[in-house]
């Protein structure tokens, strides 16, 4: 691909790296299209267990490429709608992927870069990372990324970030739930490796079920419909081959079949 680098290791860990370091991995029409295409491919590939989204060079992603935004401002409303729908669909593919997704964040994550961060299930950042929901500085708004930002940090913090467009440090991003761990830059890959090991220890079908179920649940009363949904889901899952293997492995005190051999050795 023109803007991405994809690498799949023997464990099924796919590293999807935005590869425009000279532009701080700012995305344009091409990168958005290629990210959507890459997510389709990795989601469909049975060898892929999880996906790490990263940015080459000094920055994770500076958000929208300013030249792309300039072209959009001069285009028709119909063209802008097609463009925006493509971006919205790409973020949805990341968020709705049945496989775990992790964001590896260093340097800057601005505008849509924040959107990519919070669309992933887990985000790990270097201590020098900076975040900003910066769209208002350009006279626009964080519309497409808005739902993901709100889901990550809550409505009030999301409003504050969007209205001020101010940059926040990694420690504050951690405190509000935008990222899950902050480490020194030299420790970023080691931290990521710990998260990957934890994810690979668990059943891939169960992880897909978790993501599908949790996407249907909201904070609030546990209604009869919610209770029935959860009961139906666990009843189906308990009858599956993965559940049988998981229970058998636990009783036999051995790693489950889905745990990569190298990880088996480490745990032994």
> How would you write the pLDDT of the chain (268 residues) with one tens digit per residue?
899 999 999 999 999 999 999 999 999 999 999 999 999 999 999 999 999 999 999 999 999 898 888 887 788 888 889 989 999 999 999 999 999 999 999 999 999 999 999 999 999 999 999 999 999 999 999 999 999 999 999 999 999 999 999 999 999 999 999 999 999 999 999 999 999 999 999 999 999 999 999 999 998 999 999 999 999 999 999 999 999 999 999 999 999 999 998 665 444 4
Identify the pLDDT of residue 70.
Answer: 80
How is residue 260 written in tokens?
């990569």
Q: Give the per-residue pLDDT at 79.
A: 87
Q: Give per-residue burial for 174-211: e unless 16+ CB within 10 Å, then b.
A: bebebbbbbbeeeebeebbeebbbebbebbbbebebbb
pLDDT of residue 264: 55
135 is catalytic: yes
Query: Which stretches does DSSP call E strand in 47-128?
Result: 50-55, 101-105, 108-110, 122-126
pLDDT of residue 184: 98
Length in residues, the chain: 268
Question: What does the pLDDT read at residue 268?
Answer: 40
**101, 110, 155, 177, 225 from 173: Cα distances, Å:** 18, 12, 15, 6, 35
Taking alpha carbons only, the member of 192, 210, 203 closest to residue 259 is: 203
Given 135, 172, 198, 218, the catalytic residue: 135
Domains of the chain listed by start with CATH number? 4-199 (3.90.226.10), 203-267 (1.10.12)
CA-CA-CA-CA torsion sign (69, 72, 73, 77) = negative
Partners of residue 146 on adjacent β-strands: none
- The closest alpha carbon to 22, from 48, 46, 56, belongs to 56
Q: What is the pLDDT of residue 68?
A: 82
- Give me the pLDDT at residue 58, please: 96
- The pLDDT value recorded for residue 266 is 46
pLDDT at residue 214, rounded to an integer: 95
């Amino acid at each position: 691909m023109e803007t991405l680098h994809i690498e799949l290791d023997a464990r099924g860990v796919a590293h999807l790296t935005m590869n425009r370091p000279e532009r701080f991995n700012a995305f344009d029409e091409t990168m958005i299209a290629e990210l959507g295409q890459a997510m389709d491919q990795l989601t469909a590939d049975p060898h892929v267990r999880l996906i790490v989204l990263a940015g080459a060079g000094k920055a994770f992603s500076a958000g929208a490429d300013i030249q792309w935004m300039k072209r959009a401002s001069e285009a028709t409303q119909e063209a802008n709608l097609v463009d925006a729908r493509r971006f919205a669909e790409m973020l949805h593919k990341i968020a709705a992927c049945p496989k775990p997704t992790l964001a590896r964040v260093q340097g800057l994550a601005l505008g849509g870069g924040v959107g990519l961060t919070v669309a992933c299930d887990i985000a790990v950042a270097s201590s020098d990372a900076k975040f900003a929901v910066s769209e208002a500085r350009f006279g626009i708004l964080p519309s497409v990324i808005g739902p993901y930002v709100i889901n990550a940090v809550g409505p009030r913090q999301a409003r504050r970030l969007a209205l001020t467009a101010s940059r926040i440090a990694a420690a504050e991003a951690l405190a509000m739930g935008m990222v899950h761990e902050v480490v020194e830059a030299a420790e970023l890959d080691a931290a990521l490796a710990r998260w990957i090991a934890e994810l690979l220890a668990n059943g891939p079908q169960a992880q897909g079920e978790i993501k599908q179920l949790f996407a249907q649940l909201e904070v609030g009363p546990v209604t009869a419909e919610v209770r029935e949904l959860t009961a139906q889901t666990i009843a189906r899952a308990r009858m599956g081959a993965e559940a049988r293997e998981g229970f058998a492995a636990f009783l036999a005190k051995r790693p489950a079949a889905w745990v990569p051999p190298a990880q088996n050795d480490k745990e032994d």
